[in-house]
């Protein structure tokens, strides 16, 4: 006999999420997610889809017609971009300077593309000359690069890479998940062809929707690979030539048809996530992009000033550091995991751990979306001071909070 188990209603303490994402969701976004559903072809709903496209053109700072959402986490948008562009045997140059750079090359390999990586040291930005050398040698169809890689906290020089791609006639893909809505991601000025994001970093939403923007020249290439489903021929299709897109769910040619006036059925749009993404963009644009970037820069500067005043050091090349995430070197003799656990159990604050070469070496403190604010930064620093004192780490009590306060005043 089986017993019925129902468990309790969701009821946890409200935690301050100050890691590298996810972060606390803006209350307006939570409200939007509780709005009742509509049918996916209801004119009211397709109207929301069109509004979402218009909103994200502004967030991405682009004129690209093809600007919409991929249903799935940020990684879904990344995968849609790569699998829709890359056919087996295509050359791709991937800038690999962190955990998410590694992800790009891993996905490109699954596309059976010929992957050339430009290796960048963690904690530094890549030299554009190294990218140019690789592009000149390989003449790839696509160059793929992460803008801000939260694993290393570096913001890569995308404008310089965009200029190189233009000169050698390569498409440029950029993963801007960690920076969109917090640092400038000027898609058109970068001359990037496909850029993707996610909600759970600076856009202040939950994970589960991946905004994407696609240039006309990239869309043309993708549509040239259009697949014909048995019995459902679409206009201008090219099929069965071995260059068809290897995924159905992530087939951008089909997804563009769904987001176009043709409204050709593909998946059922994840309505609650669309409501969330739409509200995130409304909140961002009401604040104003420049004001928002400045707020994130100020909060990040306060985190840096605070931890440095506590005698801690910030990891990596500070001149190219993302504003919204700070990696703090764990001092000798301090147990990094225990500090994170005490931050959570005593103060209900989450800060981040690290991956790969930085595992156990740094904490990552984010100040993003609604949390890129004075009170969230000061509360986090005050808690960190208390926990570190308890761990026997010596520094001038109150120095961190005072230094951060100085940045805000
Ligand atoms: C956080 C992050 C992702 C995360 O992808 P998810 O699928 O939403 O977990 C991808 N790329 C970068 C650069 C990120 O910082």
Profile the chain (409 residues) by mean pLDDT over runs of 10 residues.
Answer: 90 96 98 97 98 98 98 98 97 97 98 97 97 98 97 98 98 98 98 98 98 98 80 48 84 97 95 98 98 98 98 97 98 97 98 95 98 98 98 94 97
Q: What's the CATH number for 289-408? A: 3.90.1150.10
Residues 155/296, Cβ–Cβ less than 8 Å: no
Query: Would you state the structure tokens that stand for residue 205, as one six-digit string?
Result: 């939403």
Pocket perturbation via mutation, ligand 1, pick of 150, 153, 185, 205 by most ligand atoms within 8 A of CB = 150
- Best of 178, 200, 352 to mutate for ligand 1, by most ligand atoms within 8 A of CB? 178
Q: Identify any residues that bridge with 327 across adjacent strands, giving them in sequence order.
A: 364
Q: Which residue minimizes the CA distance to atom 8 of ligand 1?
A: 74
Question: Measured between alpha carbons, how far is 406 from 381 in angstroms, rounded to an integer?
Answer: 13
Under a CB-based contact definition with an 8 Å cutoff, are residues 400 and 314 in contact?
no
The rounded Å distance from CA 4 to ligand 1 centre is 37
DSSP code per residue over 167-201: HTT-EEEEE-TTTBTTB---HHHHT-SEEE--SSS
Q: 27-284: what fold?
A: 3.40.640
- Closest ligand 1 atom number to CA of residue 207: 8
Ligand 1, closest atom to CA 98? 13
For residue 80, report the distance from its CA to the centre of ligand 1, in Å: 14
Closest CA to 218 of 195, 236, 238, 239: 195
Q: Where are the domains of the chain?
A: 27-284, 289-408
74 alpha carbon to ligand 1 midpoint, in Å? 5
Of residues 218, 119, 230, the one with CA closest to residue 165:
218
What DSSP string runs through 114-155?
A: EEEEEE--TTSPPPHHHHHHHHHHH--SEEEEESEETTTTEE
Per-residue model confidence (pLDDT) at position 237: 44
The CA distance from 292 to 296, in Å, is 6
Residue 186 CA to residue 339 CA, distance in Å, equals 38
Distance, in Å, from the CA atom of 242 to the CA atom of 245, rounded to the nearest integer, reads: 9
The CA R_g of the chain, rounded to the nearest whole Å, is 22
**pLDDT score of 66:** 98
What is the distance in A from the centroid of ligand 1 to the CA of 283? 21
Q: Which residues line ligand 1 (CB under 6 A)?
A: 21, 73-75, 100, 146, 149-150, 175, 177-178, 198, 207
- pLDDT of 242 reads 56
pLDDT at 2: 80
Task: Kindly state the tokens that stand for 242.
Answer: 């071995």
Alpha-helical runs (H) found in 98-143: 99-110, 128-138
C-alpha 84 to ligand 1 mean position (Å): 19
Q: What's the CA-to-centroid distance between 128 and ligand 1, angstroms?
A: 23
Residue 156 phi/psi, 5-degree rounding, is -75, 155
From the CA of 354, how far away is ligand 1's center (Å)?
14
> Which of the listed residues 17, 22, 73, 74 should we mutate to test ligand 1's pocket, taking the one with most ligand atoms within 8 A of CB?
74
């Amino acid at each position: 006999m089986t017993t019925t188990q129902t468990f309790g209603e969701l009821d946890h303490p409200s935690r301050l999420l100050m890691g590298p994402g996810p972060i606390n969701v803006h209350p307006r976004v939570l409200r939007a997610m509780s709005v009742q559903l509509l049918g996916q072809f209801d004119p009211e709903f397709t109207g929301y889809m069109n509004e979402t496209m218009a909103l994200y053109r502004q967030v991405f700072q682009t004129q690209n017609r093809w600007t919409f959402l991929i249903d799935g986490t940020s990684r879904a948008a990344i995968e849609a971009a790569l699998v829709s562009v890359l056919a087996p045997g295509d050359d791709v140059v991937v800038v690999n300077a962190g955990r998410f750079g590694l992800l790009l090359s891993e996905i490109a390999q699954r596309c059976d593309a010929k992957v050339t990586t430009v290796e960048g040291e963690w904690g530094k930005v890549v030299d554009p000359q190294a990218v140019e050398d690789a592009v000149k040698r390989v003449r790839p169809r696509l160059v793929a690069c992460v803008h801000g890689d939260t694993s290393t906290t570096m913001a890569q020089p995308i404008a310089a890479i965009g200029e190189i791609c233009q000169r050698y006639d390569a498409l440029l893909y950029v993963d801007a998940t960690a920076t969109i809505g917090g640092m400038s991601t000027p898609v058109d000025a970068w001359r990037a062809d496909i850029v993707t994001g996610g909600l759970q970093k600076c856009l202040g939403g939950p994970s589960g929707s991946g905004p994407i923007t696609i240039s006309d020249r990239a869309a043309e290439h993708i549509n040239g690979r259009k697949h014909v489903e048995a019995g459902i021929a679409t206009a201008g299709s090219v099929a069965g030539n071995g260059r068809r897109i290897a995924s159905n769910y992530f087939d951008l040619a089909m997804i563009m048809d769904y987001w176009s006036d043709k409204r050709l059925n593909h998946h059922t749009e994840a309505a609650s996530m669309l409501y969330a993404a739409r509200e995130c963009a409304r909140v961002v644009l009401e604040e104003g992009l420049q004001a928002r970037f400045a707020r994130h820069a100020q909060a990040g500067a306060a985190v840096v000033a605070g931890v440095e005043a506590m005698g801690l050091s910030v990891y990596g090349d500070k001149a190219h550091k993302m504003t919204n995430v700070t990696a703090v070197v764990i001092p000798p003799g301090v147990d990094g995991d225990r500090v994170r656990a005490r931050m959570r159990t005593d103060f209900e604050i989450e800060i981040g751990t690290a991956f790969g070469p930085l595992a156990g070496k740094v904490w990552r403190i984010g100040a993003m979306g609604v949390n890129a604010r004075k009170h969230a930064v000061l509360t986090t620093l005050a808690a960190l001071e208390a926990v570190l004192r308890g761990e026997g780490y010596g520094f001038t009590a109150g120095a961190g909070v005072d230094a951060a306060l100085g940045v805000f005043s």
